[in-house]
Chains A and B, each alone.
Chain A
């Protein structure tokens, strides 16, 4: 199985900051990476698929980039409602696998 590694379990930020979350795949997954946001008590919400495609209705402050094994998810200007856990997921092959998550917190 492909292992997705999110090296930061926690990241501290301030409202208005630009923040980037990284994810590394254990093998080449082309651009087959999705990013999800999950708030406490809620199901995951899809933000990005195929590395850089913003899902319908997702604000343009959320962007994704990368290919091969290295991927980045960026929030250009963090809003209070963006404080959540973010997961990367490869959809290159089955089983689809998720990273361990990065919790975005206020400084």
Chain B
């Protein structure tokens, strides 16, 4: 069974940093692109970026809204996905989801999502 479990959310002050984790199981982690998607309370979903699979060198792509502030990485030995968030702003407050793409490439639709972790940026 595929499982994605996020953790690391919480309350952080503006300008602060936070690292989110997504522990995965039930599939060969290195075969898949992995994405982060966020959703502010009561608002729509926003894709933040992905990290490619082993075959594509684990390189990353980001949305313009977080490029330069957020970094996606992966620990392939433990099948964990990370999102390092720096210089956080109030508008970064959201539930953050990790999501898995399809086997062996970028398809861009997500059949597997974690349960989400809430990040609140406030003084």
Contacts and interface: CB of A to CB of B under 8 A. Distances in A.
A99 B109 contact: no
Chain B interface mostly: loop
Chain A interface mostly: loop
B111 A46 contact: yes
Given A43-B115, A44-B45, A89-B45, A95 B110 contact: no
A89 B110 CA distance: 10
22 contacts: A1-B64, A34-B109, A34-B110, A43-B116, A44-B45, A45-B113, A46-B110, A49-B107, A49-B109, A55-B111, A89-B109, A91-B108, A91-B109, A92-B108, A94-B61, A94-B108, A95-B61, A95-B63, A96-B109, A98-B44, A98-B47, A100-B44
Interface of A: 1, 32, 34, 36, 43-46, 49-50, 55-56, 87, 89-92, 94-101
